[in-house]
A and B are shown apart, each in its own frame.
Chain A
Amino acid sequence: MNTVGPRQGTGRLNKWLSGLPVHIVLIGLCLLWVLPAVGLFVTSFRPFQDVNDTGWWTVLSPPKGAQEYAAACTECHGDDGKKIAAADLSSAELIQNYRRSITLLAALKKDVDGQPHMGATPVPNDVTVAAIATYLRRISGIDAPPRFTLDNYIDAMTGYRGTVNYTSDCAAGTQALDLFCDWRDLGNPRGMGRAFLNSLLVAIPSTFLPILFAAFAAYAFSWFHFPGRQFLFALLIGLQIVPLQMTLIPISRLYAQLGLNGTFLGIWLFHTGFGLPYAIYLMRNFIGSLPRELFESVYLDGASHWTAFYRLALPLSVPAIASLGIFQFLWIWNDLLVALVFLGGQNPVLTYQIGNMVTSLGSGWHLLTAAAFISMALPMLVFFGLQRFFVRGLLAGSVKG
């Protein structure tokens, strides 16, 4: 990380060495922080056969059974299994008969040309034989998954729940009845493709509306003069302390009466209402701190309040809008509770879909990891692309209910 060139001398080296504990602790913590996420990332690209067989950290080591094969079989059959022409282990035709560990074990116990198959070495136990069988399936091409694959992502996006994968099922024509095997599968209600779209459909208006309303209100609080202005502002800001949980029950009862449960309109309105106190607070601070002379001069020029708002206040508050927008967007994108209550399974969003998969799939880690990564891709992109706005918005939003 910090290579010291020879010309820089030993002084800097000593200084760097004295700081070594700092580097060790800090780099150690950073590794600890990324390790779980790396596990998720690597697993999402591994074929499902491998995911449940070996830990993700073994991804670069030899495949399952290679070690056992080397110990028991290489001597006679060779590294690639082709050494004995009469018993070519890389031939799918031959291995088809020994693909299960029981048949393989039986073959190993039998005599070959009147001699024990394994010669003087004892026949390995059934766990080892199972590993060898897996390896034989791999080198013979019967079941040779690649080290990395995009199948998990395709399966997750299309909501595939079969036992192989979407691409091969569709190629063989054995797909489930609700799959079309074309672009329409991205709209499968179980899939992440549909959920991604739903998340966008929820998050974009729910970000835009509160900011728009807050900008109007903030302008009124900053540049209008009317009785009760300060009192009303304090009251609205005070609503920040009402926690989300407090409002769920009456609103879902109200929505049940109005038929708004499970609709996008319902969740847009809820997020708008809940995002407003903080948005007004932030926008009022920003618009209110714009130079007064600027506004006075445009009023003198005969501009109306609408012009001043639209042509002056809004364009000038772009930095505040950016921070606020990113914060609100990601808050909604990552929200589970509100989506669970007001949308549920009717219009599943990403977080809902994943929560559902966790309970229904149990250990379908190849799908879960891919799905989780699909939901994280956009926030991470925003994070790396707009880090400054992101951190600023998040910190300012930390007092939000």
Chain B
Amino acid sequence: MATATLTQERENYLNQSYGIKSWLLTTDHKRIALLYLVSITFFFFIGGFFALLIRLELLTPAGDLVLADTYNKLFSMHGQVMIFFFLIPSIPAVLGNFLVPLMIGAKDLAFPRINLLSWYLYIIAGLTYIHCMLTGGVDTGWTFYTPFSTAFSNTKVIEAGLAIFVAGFSSILTGLNFVVTIHRMRAPGMTWTRLPLFIWAHYATSIIQLLGTPVLAVTLVLVVLERALHLGIFDPARGGDPLLFQHLFWFYSHPAVYIMILPAMGVVTEIVPCFSRKRIFGYKFVAMSSIAIAVFGFLVWAHHMFVAGISLYSALIFSMLSYMVAVPSAIKVFNWTATMYKGSISFSTPMLYAFGFIGLFTMGGLTGLFLACLGIDPHVHDTYFVIAHFHYIMVGGAVMGYLGGMHFWWPKISGRMYPEGWGRLAALIVFVGFNLTFFPQFVLGYLGMPRRYWDYSHSPEFQVLNVLSTAGASVLGVGYVLPMVYFLWSMRYGKPASDNPWNAAGLEWQTTSPPPTFNFEETPMVNFEAYDYEHIPEPEVAVER
């Protein structure tokens, strides 16, 4: 029965069975989501540790903290860990896995065992990468440019490449699962236009994962073969073409950034209506903008290569297309803002993260206009301007979206409330720390500091901005540690959550917190539109004090 006393815990997916086997052999999408949560958090802190060392080294112009080769490994592995082992899985594998079946009224994903396989592939990839790190690491940059990676680097390129290859299959299978689930397992009455926009965002993300990741996979295979057998596919000394590598690499790696941002946009699109008590403004436009980003995202890859040696005319076309892909993102920002108009707004932690996302994503996105511009890119390409741009989107955008989503759905996932005061404080610290870390880097980049520089003693004028950036990074680090601490705390001491503490719309809130293993007592029948806040009363207390 739905009602239960506090002294007698209802059966839910967490307490339904105990023991390590019940977790490691689970096919319950919710448990798999938690397995991913633990794994990606682990890698987040590894990547974060590398970032800390990088920022410490850059406090002074001289390379005096670590050796040059070590620094080169640090930034390479920071990038690879953060992108392949944290950002790409993060929202889809944790929040997506947990919520996609719940939001559409299904009992599980279409292929639960493949879902578990996804996680095991991720773990195999992760362990391989850890072994690579412990036995020397890799120093090619996350981009593996040839011929440096195939013929000059003395580090574990093959092992890193293989680890990322396996991680790619984890990503592909997750995407495959989501697409089939969304197509075939929606509850009766859940038409496409009644789907939460979180689902649309994950659908678009999954399309990219399916079509883009295999190209990275085959490119890594060719890099590994070339390095192992001294072939001449990408190495000009043996008759190959290094630009071919770059085209193949960026054909995936550009859409990959949309894999990283679209889910976060989906999260924000759930949070803003809830804490404005209003339906989203322009549902169809927001849904279509996700699809447009996925499609156009495949057409712009060579904007990473404007000064790489491509032809003038290629550059023109890719620049123009890059401006077109900016439009759907802009539409989303306007729609979120318009949703707040004449709303009834409260400032819960998820909403604070959503505000942070909108602000920082807007800034990051606007700086993308600089990079897409053929007049500006030759100056700022491969400088700290680019680093600032993508961190604004990946960290200011995707990570804040992830944290906002974790706070929003934490009651559903754990059955507990996190401490709201600490939540808001952490959100503020993250926002301030983030801006202090990365805004100076825009200026630094325009001044000309190239990226991937271990030592800048020839240019001491770069120091002040680097010091500011490192100071910000220490603040940002605190902001990230806090949620980990209080989420863990809340699992034992947090206030038990009701089924729908936010009075939010969405099928996931119609079941218990935490949900039972089968998600719903009875299959839901959907006869209402998405974001039906008109018919949902406001919560008694807006947010927990």
A binds B: no
